[in-house]
C-alpha cells in the first residue's frame, strides 16, 4: 500500500504545533505515527493518525527543540504489520 506523509505548515522550526497528514491508497481506520531524532536522543514521539476524510488521516503534535539544531527526524507510519519510513530535517 502506497502511503504519503505531509507535514502541514512545516517551517523547519521545533516547538511549533504541526499537523501530520497521511494519504493512503487504501481506506483503513487509523495509522500509528512514531517520530524520533536520528542524530541525538530527543525522545520517542507517538501519535495516532485519525481518519479525517476517505484515505486521509491526521494528527497534531509538537517536536522538542534543540540548541544545537540540525535535527534529522525519522517518521514511521504504521498500519498493522506494514509501514513506511520518512526522513525530514529541522533547523
At 20 the pLDDT is 94
Element (H, E) at 36: strand 30-37
At 73 the pLDDT is 94
| pTM (two decimals) | 0.86
Contact 56, 6 (CB under 8 A): no
Digit-by-digit pLDDT tens for the chain (91 residues) are 788 888 876 665 557 788 999 999 989 999 999 999 999 999 999 999 999 999 999 999 988 888 888 889 999 999 999 999 999 888 7
Q: Which residues contact 49 (CB under 8 A, 6 or more apart)?
A: 20, 21, 22, 30, 31, 32, 33, 57, 58, 59, 77
At 90 the pLDDT is 81
Amino acid at each position: 500500500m502506497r502511503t504519503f506523509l505531509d507535514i502541514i505548515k512545516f517551517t523547519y522550526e521545533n516547538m511549533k504545533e504541526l499537523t501530520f497528514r497521511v494519504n493512503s491508497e487504501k481506506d483503513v481506520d487509523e495509522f500509528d505515527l512514531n517520530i524520533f531524532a536520528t542524530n541525538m536522543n530527543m525522545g520517542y514521539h507517538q501519535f495516532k493518525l485519525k481518519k479525517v476524510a476517505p484515505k486521509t488521516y491526521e494528527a497534531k503534535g509538537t517536536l522538542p527543540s534543540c540548541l544545537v539544531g540540525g535535527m534529522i527526524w525519522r517518521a514511521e507510519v504504521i498500519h498493522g504489520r506494514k509501514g513506511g519510513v520518512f526522513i525530514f530535517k529541522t533547523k
